[in-house]
Structure formats: structure tokens, C-alpha cells
């Protein structure tokens, strides 16, 4: 369902990853590993269609992607329910109750998003995925500022999504407790940066 | 799309949303100019159309950088770009929300403020009509300018410099409609040109603005 062939992605005009070839079938999850700056976010943004690939190609069904970035896109003066129902209406109006329950936000539904803790904001940002109804989840460090219980809660949400035939690409350093997920280490795919060797070549 | 319009309006009217800033500016300008110019009624009546239009234009300019900068900072713009509504529609709806929050209230209070400026009575209907036809152009051109500066911190200054020359035709024809109306002259030509600018901007600029967003999100 998601396949890439010899994909290369660039950030700020500099190629950071190249030669990526993988395929994901419905129900599968891919976990991206790699040190900071290795291009995890850039790869996810390219797959989300926010920037064109620097080379190669990838194939996704049209209108299938839900992207969860570092920033949750919350409006602090709107309540939790208002934030979530806005995205639900944008994506065609599924009920938000299921998403609120799945991420344990029902008690907070009437609170303003600006009054939430960092972890609660993150849970609200992730609840947005459930109201999109999209099958391909692209998650960028989804567990930042979540406690252990919330990470487990989120892993359950991802697992439920996978059993329904969805798929997920997750950039994370934390063990999510998804043993069935494939792990892709991005280190071998890092683009070689051409190092300047000083002024010697000018005098050669 | 209705959801996006409602969200933007709701955000504007909640605390810190910036509703009323442009109105307050317009009000202050219209109160202060007569005090500065002095009580000689003839001068004031002659400059009233220009002052009212300049005031409305600058009031619009005040809130332009909020149209996209806030959504960019909290990540909503990334999420809207991957959502199932086209970016062109996002731009058009955000410009509409900006007009409802600034252009429309400015149009409605303008006759009240025109009293301070001693605008001749014949000019009042034309003042309202010219603002009603011209302020949508200010919002849509401003939204386009806001997309050009969306990735910049404190891009307000650059935005003003970019947008101001594009506002000039609207200002010239808008002021001309009111001046001719106040003096009882024929005004079909400037009125038609004013409407043409608004319609042309609304038809073309959402596409340019959507491309600018796509480039800025890369």
C-alpha cells in the first residue's frame, strides 16, 4: 500500500537520505530509527506530500495520509472538544467521542487547550488521528512528553489501527511495545556529505 | 470549509484574537484628524474621503500578519495542507474570515465616523458602498501578502511593504468614488474599477497564495 523506490529526500536543498526502498502492506507498522538530524522528519514530511522528494518515487493511495508533526496544531483559546471537532468536520465529520475515550480525554473535553499539560496536549494532538479516518499514519516522535501509561494507551490505539487494516510509519526513540513492527535504521541511507579538504585542491 | 470559517471567526472573537484592533485604530484616526486639522470646515470636508479610505486601509493592514502566522507557528498550517480541502480554498476562506472581522465592521462604522470629518451628506451612501466593494480586495491581497511572509519571524514589516503598493489602486478608486459622490458627480467608472479589482483579486490571488504556502512549507 505504501511503497518507495530509491527515494531520496532533501532538507534545505541538501540531500539527507537516499536509496530508500521499502514497502508496507495494510496492517504493518514501520519504526524509523536514527540519530538526531538523520532525516526522519524530512522523510515523513516528504511522504505526507509537504515537500517533493529529491529523487526516486513513492506510491500511496490518494488522500490516505494523516500526519502528526512535532507541533500539535492546537488552538489554545478553543476547548478540547472544539479543537477535535474542527478537525473532525474538516475530514468529513466522524464523531469525536471515540477519539476522546481512546486517549482518555473525556474528562478534559470542556477545558481550554491552553490550560492542558504538555502530555495532555500531545494526547489531544494524537486523538486528531482518530477523527481523520485516514489509513496511513505518519507519526513524528508521537510519544514526546507522554508518561508510561499514556505511551501504553497510545500503543493500543496504534495496534487497533493496524488490526483494522491501517498502516503507520513512526519516527521514535522510545520502545512503543509494538513487537510486530518492522524497524528501519536510517543510518545506512544517510547521504554522504562532500567534505571540503581545505585549500589543497585549489593549488593542485 | 464552513468549519474553517467558523473556527477562524471564533478564534478572532475569543480573548487575544485581535478583533477590534482595526476598529479602534479607525476610530482614533477619525477622531484625531479633525482635532489636528482644525475647525475650518471646508478643508475637513475636502479631505474626508481620502482620510476615511486611508484609515480603513491602515486598519486592515494591522491584522494581516495574523492570518497565517499563527497557524504556521502552532503547526495547524502543516495539518491543513495535508487535509482534504484544497489550499486555495483555505486561503479564500481565511481571507473571507479576515474581511468579516475587519472589513465589514469598518464599513458599518464608517458613516458614524464620517460625521467627525464633516463629509457632505451626499457622500454617505457612496462611502458605505465603496468600502463594501473595496475592502474585500484589501483582505484578499493582504492574505496573499501574508502567505509570502508566512515563514518569517516578525514578518509584519516586510508584509506591509509588500502589500502597500498593491493597495494603491483600491485606495485611489475608493477615495475617488466617495469624493465624486460627495460632490454629486458621475462615479460609474471608479465604482466599476473598484469592483473589478476586488473580483479580479478574489479570482486570481488564492491560487498564487496557495503556491506561496506550498513553497514556504517545504
Residue B100's pLDDT band, with cuts at 50, 70 and 90, is very high
User: How many structural domains does chain A have?
Assistant: 1
Other CB atoms within a 10 A radius of the CB of residue A18 amount to 18
CA angle (A99, A103, A108) in 5-degree steps: 90
CATH at residue A96: 3.40.50.300
Domain with A176 in it: 25-54+62-182
Residue A193 inside a domain? The answer is no
| Nearest chain B CA: its distance from A124 CA (Å) | 13
Tens-digit pLDDT profile for residues B54-63: 999 999 998 8
Give the span between the Cα atoms of B57 and B164, in whole angstroms: 9
Q: What is the DSSP string of A88-124?
A: HHHTT---SHHHHHHTT-GGGTTSBGGGS-HHHHHHH
Give the span between the Cα atoms of B155 and B130, in whole angstroms: 30
Residue A188 inside a domain? The answer is no
| Nearest chain B CA: its distance from A105 CA (Å) | 20
Reduced to 3 states, what is the DSSP secondary structure of residue B15?
coil
Of B3, B71, B218, the CB nearest to A89: B3
Contact B76 A70 (CB under 8 A): no
Contacts of A119 (CB under 8 A, 6+ apart): A145, A146, A147, A150
- Report CA-CA distances (Å) from A25 to A9, A154, A183, B92, B143: 22, 21, 15, 38, 41
Contact B16 A77 (CB under 8 A): yes
* A30, containing H or E segment: strand A29-33
Tens-digit pLDDT profile for residues A78-89: 899 999 989 998
Residue A172 inside a domain? The answer is yes
Give the span between the Cα atoms of B54 and B168, in whole angstroms: 10
Find cell 488552538 and name the residue.
A75
Q: Does B10 touch chain A (CB under 8 A)?
A: yes
Domain range list for chain B: 2-217
Contacts of B15 (CB under 8 A, 6+ apart): A77
Residue A17 inside a domain? The answer is no
| Nearest chain B CA: its distance from A64 CA (Å) | 10
What local confidence, expressed as pLDDT, does residue B171 receive? 94
* Across B130-152, average pLDDT: 92
Residue A203's pLDDT band, with cuts at 50, 70 and 90, is low
Please report the ipTM that was assigned to this predicted complex.
0.84
Residue A106 inside a domain? The answer is yes
Q: Does A115 touch chain B (CB under 8 A)?
A: no
Residue A192 inside a domain? The answer is no
Residue A82 inside a domain? The answer is yes
Reduced to 3 states, what is the DSSP secondary structure of residue A63?
coil
Residue A2 inside a domain? The answer is no
Amino acid at each position: 500500500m505504501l511503497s518507495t523506490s530509491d527515494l531520496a529526500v532533501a532538507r534545505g536543498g541538501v540531500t539527507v537520505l537516499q536509496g530508500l526502498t521499502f514497502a508496507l502492506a495494510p496492517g504493518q507498522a514501520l519504526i524509523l530509527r536514527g540519530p538526531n538530524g538523520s532525516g526522519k522528519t524530512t522523510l515523513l514530511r516528504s511522504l505526507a506530500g509537504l515537500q517533493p522528494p529529491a529523487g526516486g518515487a513513492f506510491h500511496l493511495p490518494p488522500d490516505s495520509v494523516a500526519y502528526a508533526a512535532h507541533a500539535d496544531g492546537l488552538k489554545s483559546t478553543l476547548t478540547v472538544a472544539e479543537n477535535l471537532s474542527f478537525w473532525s468536520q474538516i475530514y468529513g465529520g466522524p464523531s469525536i467521542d471515540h477519539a476522546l475515550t481512546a486517549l482518555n480525554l473525556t474528562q478534559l473535553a470542556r477545558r481550554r487547550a491552553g490550560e492542558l499539560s504538555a502530555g495532555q496536549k500531545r494526547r489531544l494532538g494524537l486523538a486528531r488521528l482518530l477523527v481523520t479516518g485516514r489509513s496511513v499514519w505518519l507519526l513524528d516522535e508521537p510519544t514526546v512528553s507522554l508518561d508510561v501509561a499514556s505511551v501504553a494507551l497510545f500503543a493500543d490505539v496504534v495496534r487497533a489501527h493496524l488490526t483494522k487494516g491501517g498502516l503507520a510509519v513512526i519516527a521514535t526513540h522510545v520502545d512503543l511495545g509494538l513487537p510486530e513492527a518492522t524497524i528501519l535504521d536510517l543510518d545506512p541511507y544517510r547521504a554522504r556529505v562532500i567534505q571540503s579538504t581545505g585549500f589543497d585542491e585549489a593549488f593542485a | 470549509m464552513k468549519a474553517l470559517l467558523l473556527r477562524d471567526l471564533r478564534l478572532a472573537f475569543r480573548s487575544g484574537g485581535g478583533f477590534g484592533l482595526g476598529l479602534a485604530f479607525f476610530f482614533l484616526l477619525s477622531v484625531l484628524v479633525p482635532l489636528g486639522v482644525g475647525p475650518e470646515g471646508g478643508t475637513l470636508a475636502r479631505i474626508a474621503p481620502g482620510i476615511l479610505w486611508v484609515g480603513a486601509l491602515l486598519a486592515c493592514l494591522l491584522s494581516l500578519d495574523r492570518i497565517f502566522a499563527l497557524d504556521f507557528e502552532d503547526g495547524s498550517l502543516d495539518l491543513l495542507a495535508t487535509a482534504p480541502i484544497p489550499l486555495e480554498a483555505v486561503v479564500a476562506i481565511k481571507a473571507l474570515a479576515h474581511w468579516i472581522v475587519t472589513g465589514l465592521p469598518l464599513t458599518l462604522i464608517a458613516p458614524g465616523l464620517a460625521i467627525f470629518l464633516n463629509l457632505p451628506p451626499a457622500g454617505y451612501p457612496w462611502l458605505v458602498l465603496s468600502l463594501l466593494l473595496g475592502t474585500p480586495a484589501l483582505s484578499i491581497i493582504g492574505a496573499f501578502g501574508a502567505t509570502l511572509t508566512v515563514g518569517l519571524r516578525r514578518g509584519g514589516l516586510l508584509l506591509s511593504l509588500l502589500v502597500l503598493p498593491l493597495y494603491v489602486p483600491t485606495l485611489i478608486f475608493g477615495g475617488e468614488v466617495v469624493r465624486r459622490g460627495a460632490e454629486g458627480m458621475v462615479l460609474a467608472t471608479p465604482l466599476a474599477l473598484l469592483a473589478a479589482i476586488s473580483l479580479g483579486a478574489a479570482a486570481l490571488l488564492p491560487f498564487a497564495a496557495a503556491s506561496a504556502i506550498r513553497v514556504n512549507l517545504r
